[in-house]
A and B are shown apart, each in its own frame.
Chain A
Amino acid sequence: GAVVSQHPSWVICKSGTSVKIECRSLDFQATTMFWYRQFPKQSLMLMATSNEGSKATYEQGVEKDKFLINHASLTLSTLTVTSAHPEDSSFYICSARGKAGEDDTGELFFGEGSRLTVL
Chain B
Amino acid sequence: AQSVTQLDSQVPVFEEAPVELRCNYSSSVSVYLFWYVQYPNQGLQLLLKYLSGSTLVKGINGFEAEFNKSQTSFHLRKPSVHISDTAEYFCAVRLDSNYQLIWGAGTKLIIKP
Contacts and interface: CB of A to CB of B under 8 A. Distances in A.
A78 interface: no
A86 B45 CA distance: 28
A35 interface: no
B84 interface: no
A32 B99 contact: yes
Which applies to chain B's interface (DSSP): helix, strand, loop or mixed? strand
B5 to A, nearest CB: 11
Which applies to chain A's interface (DSSP): helix, strand, loop or mixed? strand
Given A105-B51, A107-B49, A46 B100 contact: yes
Contacts, number: 47
A10 to B, nearest CB: 9
Interface of A: 1, 4, 6, 32, 34, 41-44, 46, 49, 91, 93, 95, 97, 105-113, 115
A23 to B, nearest CB: 10
24 contacts: A1-B46, A4-B43, A6-B43, A32-B99, A41-B108, A43-B103, A43-B104, A43-B106, A44-B44, A44-B90, A91-B41, A93-B43, A93-B44, A97-B99, A105-B32, A105-B51, A106-B32, A106-B94, A107-B49, A108-B46, A108-B101, A109-B46, A111-B43, A112-B42
Interface residues of B, number: 20
Given A41-B108, A44-B90, 7 more contacts: A44-B103, A93-B43, A97-B99, A109-B46, A110-B44, A112-B42, A113-B41
